[in-house]
Structures are given as C-alpha cells and as structure tokens.
Amino acid sequence: MLSIYYGLYKGENYIDNPDLYFDNTYEDAWLEDPHSKAMVKDIDKSELIGPNLVISPVLGSIPVSRLSGGVKTLIQIAHDPEHVYNASACGDNCAAWLLRIGKEKDVLVRLGHQMRFTEEPFDIRIENTGQVVHTRKELVTAVISQGLLEETL
Amino acid sequence: MKGQYDVVLYNNKVHYHLTIKRNITILRGDSASGKSEFIRLLAQYNGSPKSSGISLICDRECIVLNEGNWKLYLETYRERIFFIDEGNDFLRTKEFADAVKGADNYFVIISRENFPNLPYSVDEIYGLREGKYREAKRVYNEMYRIYGNLPDPQQKPEIVITEDSNSGNEFFENDDTYTLSFNVEASSRAYEAYAFNKATAGNNGYGEMEGSGYTASYAFTATESSDKKSFTNITSRYENGSLVYYIPAGKAELTTTAATVRGLMRSSDRCWLWERDGCSLGDACR
C-alpha cells in the first residue's frame, strides 16, 4: 500500500532532493526495468533505451541525469526500499504511478503539498495518523482538518 | 524594484519566455514540463554567458540561487531576478523569508511545497507548457497561470470574515462591508480574510477549486446556532492585498448576526498578509 507522510519528515533515511540523489546513486538495473521505461515514456514522453541513454523528442539523446525530477523520484520509490523520498518532486502527472507502485508493494513517501490523486477509489495510508483513505475527499479533508502541512522550519 | 520583466532564455533546442510581474513568482505544475531544464540552462549561462551557446534577453540580470551562494548574493545584489530550483533546503527557512522581505530583487521559485513564511500571491503561481509557436528546430515554452478563472474584480463582498478581531478585521471595518471575526481552532492558523458574497448553504462542504483560485482543496463549514451549513462552489481572489473567498448566491443566506463561523481551510498556497509587519494593506502580498 502507498503510505504518505505529510509535512516535514525527519527520518534519517529521508531524501529531500531525489533529483540530485538519483544522479549519484542510481543503479543500472533500475533503468532496465520495463516499469521504469513505461514511466519515462508516460511522464517524460521519452524513450529510455538503457542505463546510459534516453531519447527525448525535445532534447535529443540525453543521459539519464536529465530525466525529469518526477520520473527520477518514481524510479527510486519503485526500486529503493531503503529510503523515504520526497514525492513533492513529482507533479500531478505522477500520481497514478505512485498508486500503481503502492498496489505492488508497501512504500512510504513524503509529500509537502496536496497531490491530486484522480484514480478513485484508492488505498492510501496517511502515515502521520495511520488513517487509511480511499477517496480524494477523504484524503484532502484529513490533511486539511489535521493541519498536516502546517509545520514549518 | 518594480514593474514586470520579460525573461527570454534559449538555445538551439528550447526557448523559454517568462513574464515576471511580482517580487515572488512560483513555478510548479506537471513533471517534465521544463522547469528544471530552465534552471540548468540559466545556471550554465551564469557560469559562461558568452561561450555557453545560450542566449538571455532581459532588462535585469537573472541569476540562479543555490545553497552555496544565496546569502552572499542577497546581501550583495540589488535589482536582480533570482531563480531557485526545488530541492534547496534554504527555501523553507525563516532566514531566507526574512531576506526576501527586505530584498530589492525578484524571486522565481520552482517548487510545489508550502512556503507559509513567504508572502506570495495566488495570482503569481504559474506552470510551464509548450507554446503554440513551435518552430521546426526549437520548442517554445511559455508560462500559464495555474489558478485562473477568478471572479469579476468588481464583485463586492457583503460579508467579510477575518481570523480574529485584530488586523484584518480592523482593515475591513473601514469598508462598508459587514465584518465578522471568528476564532480559529488551535490547529488552524491561516485564515486571513474570507469574504462572502451572499453566503450560501450548499449540499456539501467539500470541493476542489479546479481552475478557480486555489490549488488545494478545502472543507468549510459554518455553524449557525446548532444547524450546520456547508458551502460549495467557493472561489477566491486577492482584494486589497488579502485573499478573499467568495461563496456565490444561492439557496440560503448566512445570517451574520448570530453566526459562529468555523472555517477549515488549508492550501499549499497562502497569503500571510496579517503576519507581515508594517506592510501596506493596499499592496501587501503583491
């Protein structure tokens, strides 16, 4: 199931900048996974040829370090269970993929904004409270009414 | 630093045209829309303007801020446009917020996060999209306002609800609208000013303001005596520097005299008008 921690996550295994972290830690095997290729195709509209090459319709041949921050984050969430990633690096066009990953395995991510999960019903566990929600209304109401995004540095 | 500035940045593959109107502009939106690519190009241009192969056209110098340079640059530079990519920890700090408030620069922040310490307008939250002028060799990227479709600016609220009886309430008392203050729950913080245009009870108290003013979603209930009434179809816009929420006329009208109004409003975009010291109400949050 997809679990989301809203607000400032303070765990030692938290990665706040998954875009940068990916560039220095990705494993080739992650980029040979058909799911990763499908994510890159869907989000970046590009072809992930392999660990060293992406074909972008705009930028041409580029290294994987120039994939979008959103798709890098998705790939890490799907393949690296050791860390909690900041999913606010993902746009709303990544929401369906987060739910899809959550259907396959238990993952915990952090959000600092209200992502729009449009594919209802879903199973999302709000890590802050343990509440499991199934609709956008439930999710948004829970986050709002409990002030989960209120904390600041 | 005042006025609006066009920023044109391009190389042989991509072309960006941004129009920066206020001191704080937020860029967000879908992944892979070119936000970070813009920062990458600008950083390369900053490092080597003449030999980067990148062209920048702007009446002001445009600079990428990062963890290593932001303090020095903010202390040193005036009348610059600073661009900041997501992932920079300093964005959420009070130290940065204080520096922004005292700076004579513009800031363009790429992030989806909350920045409750920063006084930015919901009108200045943009996304990037591929423009309609696509050349054979180059993709043209332009800004679009994420929260458009705002109500008629001439619309006048009949009731204004503020967080408490202080600042916001005092301001609107000088207006000829009816002002009602209310206490916020302990867990609540940001209510600023809520204006009602013929407050109306709807069928449900939940909604998401798609394209009508707010990123987030809201739950809003008004309790009048023991009867709970909920509102829907709320829109928002800035008025007199304050974020104002409108509830359109409809079936029932909120009685202002005996009402205890409790709002539950959260969003990733807020105006913190009443937390600013010494601000001018007319131009705060702008």
Q: Which of B31, B112, B215 to mutate to test the interface with A (most CBs of A within 10 A)?
A: B31
Q: Is A103 near chain B, with CB under 8 Å? A: no
How do residues B36-57 score in pLDDT, each as one tens digit?
899 999 999 999 998 999 999 9
pLDDT at B170: 58
Is the pLDDT reported for residue B193 higher than 60?
no
Residues B163, B265 contacting (CB under 8 angstroms):
no
The strand ranges marked E within A7-129 are 14-15, 47-50, 53-56, 60-62, 84-86, 107-111, 124-126
Residue A13 CB: number of other CB atoms within 10 A? 12
In this complex, do A66 and B37 lie within 8 Å of one another by their Cβ atoms? yes
- Is the pTM value of this prediction over 0.80? no
Residue B57 has phi, psi (to 5 degrees) of -120, 115
pLDDT at A136: 86
Residue A23 CB: number of other CB atoms within 10 A? 15
Is the pLDDT reported for residue B272 higher than 60?
no
In this complex, do B31 and A19 lie within 8 Å of one another by their Cβ atoms? no
Q: What distance, in Å, lies between the first and last C-alpha atoms of chain B?
A: 13
How do residues B1-20 score in pLDDT, each as one tens digit?
888 999 999 999 899 999 99
Band (B25; pLDDT cuts 50, 70, 90): very high
Q: Measured between beta carbons, which residues in chain B are less than 8 angstroms from residue A90?
A: 31
Q: Is the peptide bond before A121 cis (omega within 30 degrees of 0)?
A: yes
Is the pLDDT reported for residue B206 higher than 70?
no
pLDDT at B172: 55
Residues A55, B128 contacting (CB under 8 angstroms):
no
Average confidence (pLDDT) per 10 residues, chain A, 153 residues: 94 94 96 96 95 91 95 97 96 95 96 89 95 91 82 62
Is the pLDDT reported for residue B192 higher than 60?
no
The residues near A107 (Cβ < 8 Å, ≥ 6 apart) are A2, A3, A77, A78, A81, A101
- The vertex-B38 CA angle with B35 and B43, nearest 5°, equals 130
Is the pLDDT reported for residue B154 higher than 80?
no
Q: Which one has a higher pLDDT value, A126 or B97?
A: A126
Q: Is B230 near chain A, with CB under 8 Å? A: no
In this complex, do A113 and B87 lie within 8 Å of one another by their Cβ atoms? no
Q: Is B173 near chain A, with CB under 8 Å? A: no
Q: Is A134 near chain B, with CB under 8 Å? A: no
- Chain B: give the shortest CA distance to residue A138, in Å: 10
In this complex, do A144 and B216 lie within 8 Å of one another by their Cβ atoms? yes
Q: What is the DSSP letter of A130?
A: T
Q: Is B15 near chain A, with CB under 8 Å? A: no
Residue B149 CB: number of other CB atoms within 10 A? 12
Quote ipTM for the complex.
Answer: 0.88
How do residues B54-64 score in pLDDT, each as one tens digit?
999 999 999 99
pLDDT at B267: 31
Q: Is A141 near chain B, with CB under 8 Å? A: yes
Residues B234, B198 contacting (CB under 8 angstroms):
no
> Could you give the 3-state DSSP secondary structure of residue B52?
coil
Q: Which one has a higher pLDDT value, B164 or A82?
A: A82
Percent of chain B with pLDDT over 70: 48
Determine the Cα–Cα distance for residues A65 and A20; give it in Å rounded to an integer: 9
Band (B255; pLDDT cuts 50, 70, 90): very low
